[in-house]
C-alpha cells in the first residue's frame, strides 16, 4: 500500500501540557487527515514535537490549533487559521478566554470525549472553509454550545415512546429499521422487572401516542414556527433537507393520527444526526 | 452543564488530576531527591495527603449517582419534556432509561470506578497505617522507606481518574 504523502497535509497543532496521554489521543484522531505537531510545557521548558516524538525547533503555521484552556501562554503566538479551545471541564471552563470563538463544549479527557477521526476530518474541512473566506461555514456539532441543542433529543425521546407502543408484531413490519436502531425488539424480548412492567403498559399507549395532543403537550400548539426554527438550527440544514423530520412536524401540527412510518423515519433521521449511526433497513 | 458533570469536574479535573495527583508526584520527586521544597516536605503528609479521606465520600457518591443523574430520564425534569403529563413522564422515562442501560455499559463503568476507588482507598489506608508508626512524617528522609507505598497510592489515584474519565460527558438519548 502506498504511504500517505504527509507533506501536503494541513498542519494541526495541539497545545496541551497535561500528562495523561490526552494530547496523543487527540493527535491520533488526525491520522491521515493532517500533519500534527504537539507543544507542551514541562514546567521547565516548552517542548515542540511531531507525533513520532521527534523534537522540533519551532511550530509550523497551522490550519487548526487545538489549545487546552490552561495552556494559553504556551506558544501563544504561533500563526493559525482557527484556534479551538478545549479542556477537562468542557467549554464553560472559567479559564476560557473572552474572545474564544471556537471551543469544544464537551469535557475532554484522555478517558473520554477526545475527538473521533470523523470529527477531526470535519474540523479540518471546516477550517479549510474558513481559510478560503467562507466565514459563515457551518460549524461542526462539537463546536456548538449543547445548551442550544434540546429539540432533537426531545423529539427522539417522544419517538422512542411512540415506537415502543407500536412495536407489536402485526404493526412493526414497516418500522423495523427504527425499532432495531432503538434496541426495542431485543429489549421487549428480554427479562427483568423493568421489561415486564413496560410490556404491560405499552400496548395501552398506542392510542394516546398516536394523537397529536400527546406531542403538542410538549411542543405546544401555537409554537410551530419556533419548533421548526429550532430543528433547523440543530440539524444544521434547512427543513426541506430534513424531509423525515419535516414530515413529523407537519403531522403533529396537521390533522389526523400520527402514523408509524412518519415517526420511524423521523426517529432515524434524528438518530443519525445525534449518534452518527444511521438506521439500517432490515 | 448537567449537575453531575459539574461534580465530576470539581472532583476529578479540578481536585484529583490537577491538585492532588500533581502534589503526590511532587512528593515522590522529593523522596527521589529531584526537587527541593522544605515547606512542602514538612506539610505534605499532615496537610495534603489526608485530602483523600476528605474527598472519599464524594468520590463514592459521584460514581454511584451517575446512573440516576445522567440518565435520559432526567430530560423530563426540564422543558420541553417536563410539559408532558405525569403518566407519560413516568412510562416514557422508564423506557428511555431502560433502553439507555442496554445501549451503554453503565453498570460496567460504575463497577470499574467503584473498584478503582476502593483499591485507591485500600492503598491509602495501608500507607496511613504505616505512617502512624513513623516518628517523623515531616522529613522526606524518614519517609523514603515508604516510597513504594506512596507510588502505589499515586498509581491507584490514576486508576480512579481514568475510571471517572470514562463516563460520558453528555446525556445520550440514542
Pairwise CB contact (< 8 Å): B13 & A217: no
Q: Which residue has the cell 479549510?
A: A128
* Grid cell for residue A255: 390533522
Mean pLDDT of chain A: 92
Which residues on neighbouring strands pair with residue A102, listed in sequence order?
Answer: A84
Beta bridge partners of A84: A66, A102
pLDDT of amino acid B105: 95
Of the candidates A125, A57, A5, the one whose C-alpha atom is nearest the C-alpha of residue A39 is A57
pLDDT higher for A194 or A282? A194
Residue B174: partners with Cβ closer than 8 Å, 6 or more residues away? A156, A181, A182, A270, A271, A274, A275, A277, B103
Confidence label for A96 from pLDDT (cuts 50, 70 and 90):
confident
Contact B162 A110 (CB under 8 A): yes
> How close A168 comes to chain B (CA, Å)?
16
Q: Between helices A151-165 and A212-219, what is the axis angle to 10°?
A: 160
To the nearest whole angstrom, how far is the Cα of B127 from the nearest Cα of chain A?
24
Give which of B90, B84, B95, B65 is closest to B173, Cα–Cα.
B95
B124, B134, B136, B145 from B130: Cα distances, Å: 10, 7, 12, 10
Question: How far apart are the C-alpha atoms of A249 and B101, rounded to whole Å?
Answer: 29
Which range, of A91-105, A242-256, B90-104, averages the lowest pLDDT?
Answer: A91-105
Q: How far apart are CA A253 and CA B163, in angstroms?
A: 46
The answer to whether the Cβ–Cβ distance between A183 and B103 falls below 8 Å is yes
DSSP string covering B24-64: HHHHHHHHTTS---HHHHHHIIIIITTHHHHHHHHHHHHHH
Q: Is A38 helix (H, G, I), strand (E, B) or coil?
A: strand
- Report residue A93's pLDDT band, with 50, 70 and 90 as the boundaries: confident
Q: What is the ipTM of this complex?
A: 0.89
**Residue A201 forms contact with B (CB below 8 Å):** yes
Q: Do B84 and A217 touch (CB under 8 A)?
A: yes
Inform me whether the pLDDT recorded for A1 exceeds 50. Answer: no
CB B134 within 8 A of CB B142: yes
Predicted confidence at residue A129, as pLDDT, reads 92
Chain B interface with A: residues with Cβ < 8 Å: 1, 5, 8-9, 12-14, 17, 72, 75, 80-81, 83-85, 88, 91-92, 94-96, 98-99, 102-103, 158, 161-174
Q: What local confidence, expressed as pLDDT, does residue A281 receive?
A: 66
Looking at the predicted structure, is the pLDDT value of residue A47 above 70?
yes
Q: Looking at the predicted structure, is the pLDDT value of residue A2 above 70?
A: no
A272 has a chain B CB within 8 A of its CB: no
In angstroms, the CA B41 to CA B26 distance is 10
SS3 per residue for A227-281? HHHHHHHHHCCCHHHCHHHHHHHHHHCCCCCCCHHHHHHHHHHHHHHHHCCCCCC
A158: exposed, middle or buried (Cβ count in 10 Å: 0-12, 13-18, 19+): buried
Q: What is the pLDDT of residues A149-169, one digit of tens each?
A: 899 999 999 999 999 999 987
CA atoms within a 13 Å half-sphere pointing along the CA-CB vector of A5: 2
Interface size between A and B, measured as CB pairs under 8 A:
119
User: What residue has cell string 415486564?
Assistant: A196
| Assigned C-alpha cell, B144 | 523514603
Which residue on chain B is closest to A165 by alpha carbon?
Answer: B92
CB-nearest to A112 from B102, B158, B169 is B169
* DSSP code string of B96-150: HHHHHHHHS-HHHHHHHHHHHHHHHHHHHHHHHHHHHT-S-TT-HHHHGGGHHHH
- The answer to whether B142 and B136 are in contact (CB under 8 A) is yes
Task: Give the pLDDT confidence score for residue A4 in this predicted structure.
Answer: 52
Share of chain A above pLDDT 70, in %: 97
- Measured CA to CA, the distance from residue A188 to residue B10 in angstroms comes to 39
Picking from B9, B165, B174, the nearest residue to A274 by CB comes out as B174
β-partners of residue A14 are A38, A66
Query: What pLDDT score does A255 carry?
Result: 94
In the stretch 80-99 of chain A, residues with CB closer than 8 A to chain B read 87-90, 92
Mean local confidence (pLDDT), B115-139: 95
- Asked if B80's CB is within 8 angstroms of A219's CB, the reply is yes
Confidence check: pLDDT of A266 > 60: yes
Q: Which residues of A touch B85 (CB under 8 A)?
A: 217
Which pTM does this prediction carry? 0.79
**Distance between CA A236 and CA A234 in Å, rounded?**
5
Contact A198, B95 (CB under 8 A): yes
Euclidean distance between CA atoms A22 and A112, whole angstroms = 9
B13-32 pLDDT, tens digit per residue, is 889 998 999 999 999 999 99
The count of other CB atoms within 10 Å of the CB of residue A118 is 12
Task: Give dist(CA A218, CA B147) in Å, integer.
Answer: 60
DSSP state of A55: B
Q: Is B83–A220 a contact, with Cβ atoms under 8 angstroms apart?
A: yes
Inform me whether the pLDDT recorded for B41 exceeds 80.
yes
8 Å CB contact of A88 and B17: yes
Could you tell me which of A241, A258, A86 has the C-alpha nearest to residue A155?
Answer: A258
Smallest CA-to-CA distance from A65 within A88, A83, A81 is with: A83
CB contact under 8 A, A160 and B17: no
Amino acid at each position: 500500500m502506498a504511504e500517505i504523502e504527509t507533506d501536503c497535509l494541513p498542519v494541526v497543532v495541539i497545545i496541551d501540557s497535561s500528562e495523561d496521554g490526552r494530547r496523543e489521543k487527540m493527535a491520533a484522531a488526525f491520522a491521515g487527515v493532517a500533519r500534527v505537531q504537539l507543544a507542551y510545557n514541562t514546567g521547565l521548558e516548552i517542548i515542540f514535537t511531531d507525533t513520532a516524538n521527534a523534537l522540533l525547533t519551532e511550530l509550523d503555521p497551522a490550519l487548526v490549533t487545538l489549545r487546552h484552556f490552561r495552556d494559553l501562554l504556551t506558544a501563544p503566538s504561533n500563526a493559525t487559521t482557527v484556534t479551538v479551545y478545549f479542556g477537562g471541564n468542557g467549554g464553560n471552563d472559567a479559564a476560557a478566554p473572552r474572545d474564544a470563538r471556537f471551543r469544544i463544549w464537551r469535557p475532554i479527557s484522555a478517558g473520554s470525549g477526545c475527538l473521533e477521526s470523523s470529527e477531526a476530518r470535519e474540523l479540518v474541512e471546516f477550517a479549510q472553509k474558513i481559510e478560503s473566506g467562507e466565514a459563515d461555514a457551518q460549524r461542526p456539532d462539537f463546536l456548538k454550545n449543547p445548551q442550544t441543542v434540546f429539540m432533537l433529543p426531545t423529539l427522539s425521546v417522544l419517538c422512542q415512546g411512540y415506537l415502543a407502543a407500536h412495536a407489536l408484531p402485526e404493526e412493526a413490519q414497516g418500522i423495523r429499521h427504527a425499532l432495531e436502531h432503538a434496541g426495542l425488539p431485543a429489549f421487549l424480548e428480554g427479562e427483568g422487572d423493568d421489561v415486564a412492567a413496560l410490556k404491560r403498559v405499552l400496548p395501552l399507549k398506542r392510542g394516546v401516542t398516536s394523537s397529536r395532543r400527546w406531542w403538542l403537550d410538549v411542543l405546544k400548539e401555537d409554537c410551530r414556527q419556533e419548533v421548526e426554527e429550532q430543528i433547523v438550527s440543530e440539524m444544521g440544514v434547512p427543513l426541506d433537507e430534513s424531509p423525515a423530520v419535516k414530515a413529523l412536524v407537519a403531522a403533529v401540527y396537521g390533522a389526523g393520527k400520527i402514523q408509524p412510518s412518519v415517526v420511524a423515519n423521523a426517529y432515524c433521521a434524528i438518530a443519525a444526526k445525534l449518534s452518527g449511526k444511521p438506521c439500517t433497513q432490515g | 452543564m448537567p449537575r453531575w458533570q459539574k461534580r465530576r469536574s470539581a472532583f476529578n479535573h479540578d481536585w484529583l488530576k490537577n491538585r492532588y495527583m500533581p502534589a503526590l508526584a511532587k512528593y515522590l520527586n522529593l523522596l527521589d531527591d529531584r526537587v527541593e521544597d522544605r515547606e512542602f516536605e514538612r506539610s505534605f503528609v499532615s496537610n495534603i495527603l489526608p485530602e483523600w479521606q476528605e474527598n472519599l465520600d464524594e468520590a463514592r457518591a459521584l460514581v454511584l449517582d451517575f446512573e440516576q443523574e445522567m440518565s435520559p430520564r432526567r430530560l423530563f425534569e426540564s422543558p420541553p419534556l417536563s410539559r408532558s403529563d405525569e403518566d407519560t413522564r413516568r412510562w416514557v422515562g422508564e423506557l428511555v432509561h431502560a433502553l439507555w442501560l442496554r445501549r451503554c455499559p453503565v453498570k460496567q463503568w460504575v463497577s470499574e470506578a467503584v473498584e478503582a476507588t476502593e483499591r485507591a482507598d485500600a492503598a491509602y489506608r495501608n500507607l496511613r497505617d504505616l505512617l502512624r508508626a513513623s516518628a517523623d512524617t515531616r522529613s522526606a528522609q524518614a519517609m523514603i522507606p515508604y516510597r513504594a507505598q506512596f507510588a502505589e497510592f499515586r498509581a491507584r489515584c490514576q486508576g480512579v481518574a481514568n475510571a471517572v474519565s470514562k463516563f460520558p460527558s453528555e446525556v445520550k438519548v440514542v
